[in-house]
Amino acid sequence: MTEQTKLSRKTNLSIMLLAFAGQLAWAVENQYFNLFIYNEIAPVPSYISLMVAITAVVSTLTAIFMGAYSDRIGKRRVFMIIGYVFWAITTAIFPLSGVFQPVVLAITIAIIFDSIMTFFGAMANDAALNAYVTDITTLENRGKIGSILEIMFLVAYLIIYGLSGYIIESVGYYTFFYIVGGLVAIFGIPGALLAPKPENLKPAEARYWEIIKSSFNKAQIKDNKNYFLILIGVGIWATAFNIFFPFVLIYLEHSLKLSLDVASLLIFVAFLFSIIGAFPIGKIVDKVGRKKLALLAILLESISLILFAFSEDLIFITITASIWLFAIVMWNISSKTWLKDLYPEDKRGQFSGYYILFSVLIGMSIGPLIGGLLSETFGESIVINGQPGFIPPPLIFIVSAFLMLFVFIPIILAKEVKKENNKQNNK
């Protein structure tokens, strides 16, 4: 790796802090917001599906419009600083939704709180940080940086799953959310302040609404055919993934009858296994290409989810969970690196938003609705704190595994960027 492709220690530290803080917040939002609603308000999967779907819309619109605005003014850091400050605050206040009655009002307040939290998170992370990473990396080091981002994702989830069950059972949900909000501020704000300004980042010449409009025409899609093929794959993957993921802790606790601390520890072990493999995957992606690893990830994910659905022994559950989590890591590193290779240079913030359109709006709207419908149709009945509901069944993993196979189609059709061409384009 040449000196030009190396990043400074300050830059690396900034990326690590920002990624770690952001993933702490997303880990809690993706699982423990759902668990809080299920255990503290009402055990109704459709409530979770509704919250996930609404916040997916918020996240997508924020990422696209704020990403385009960051392109227009040629700045990333200001969005990260403001975003992480309020991201921390809104993470901490979420459990206050549980004090409202009746249940419908509590759910409404929870969705509002989650939507506000999602706005600041999407602005700071999905729009600004994703574009910033693309600004400062090249084809030669993007896979390595992608693996660092993925490792921070895994470390954050490792901490959340490793400690959350014990913290919640010891001091309750409220103190737990306050702690997480504090950690997001402690790591995220310094990370944003440390981030050096990208050397080649300049304000876009086009007006804001011209930038938005230009990406919704046929010519733009045709010019970025491979980018959108990968995004179709991302959308299918995210839909399949979100059929089961919002309900995985609920499934472990209520269907397999594991205590919350054991269920959290199980996922902790699976994430630990994934961390070990994440950094080598980044190097392999840079050496052998994005496409081969993406295809392998699809196959591994589908097989392991089917095995997980039929697992009842604790060791076998842990092994199969480790495999599908590792496959997610492999997919994320290969697909996200591949997409960053294809970002138009003057629209990186905006195109980071389009990733959210497919991965979040499509995946997190359709997937949880399917998972919720399957749970309320085929799941066992349950009553928690006098509130009737349903337990997610193993079927959600089987349906997810089947849908995951359709990701093969657009990924096989998409082409990679050649290093020689990239070097010429960067001259």
Per-residue pLDDT of the chain (427 residues; tens, 9 = 90+): 444 457 778 888 999 999 999 999 998 998 889 989 998 999 988 899 899 889 989 988 898 888 888 888 888 899 999 999 999 999 999 999 988 889 999 999 999 999 999 999 999 988 888 888 878 877 777 777 777 887 888 788 888 877 888 888 889 899 999 999 999 999 999 999 998 888 777 877 777 777 677 666 677 777 788 988 999 999 999 999 999 988 888 899 888 988 877 887 887 888 788 777 777 877 788 788 889 999 999 999 999 999 999 988 889 999 999 999 899 989 988 998 888 888 776 666 666 667 778 888 888 889 988 998 999 999 899 888 788 889 999 999 999 999 999 999 999 999 887 654 444 444 3
Look at residue 82 and tell me if it is in a domain: yes
- The reported pLDDT for the residue numbered 93 is 93
Question: How far apart (Å, rounded) are the C-alpha atoms in residues 121 and 48?
Answer: 19
In the numeric block, which tokens belong to residue 242? 């979100």
In the numeric block, which tokens belong to residue 249? 């802790």
Look at residue 201 and tell me if it is in a domain: no
- The reported pLDDT for the residue numbered 67 is 84
From the number of C-beta atoms within 10 Å of its C-beta (0-12, 13-18, 19+), residue 383 rates as exposed
Give the SS3 label for residue 324.
helix
Look at residue 29 and tell me if it is in a domain: yes
Here the CATH number for the domain that contains residue 345 is 1.20.1250.20
- Domain span at residue 304? 8-195+208-426
Phi first, then psi, for residue 111 (nearest 5°) are: -65, -40
Look at residue 202 and tell me if it is in a domain: no
Look at residue 2 and tell me if it is in a domain: no
* Number of domains making up the chain: 1
- The reported pLDDT for the residue numbered 424 is 41
DSSP string, 360-400: IIIHHHHHHHHHHHHHHHHSPEEEETTEEEEPPPTHHHHHH
Question: How far apart (Å, rounded) are the C-alpha atoms in residues 274 and 329?
Answer: 7
- The reported pLDDT for the residue numbered 217 is 66
Q: Residue 129: which residues within 8 A CB-CB, separation 6 or more?
A: 15, 18, 19, 22, 76, 80
- The reported pLDDT for the residue numbered 229 is 93
- The reported pLDDT for the residue numbered 347 is 66
Look at residue 1 and tell me if it is in a domain: no
- The reported pLDDT for the residue numbered 1 is 42
- The reported pLDDT for the residue numbered 216 is 61
Sign of the CA dihedral running 32, 275, 272, 330: positive
Q: Could you tell me the CA-to-CA distances from 419 to 78, 346, 422, 424 in Å, in that order?
A: 32, 20, 5, 9
pTM value?
Answer: 0.76
- The reported pLDDT for the residue numbered 249 is 84
Count CB-CB contacts under 10 A for residue 418: 12
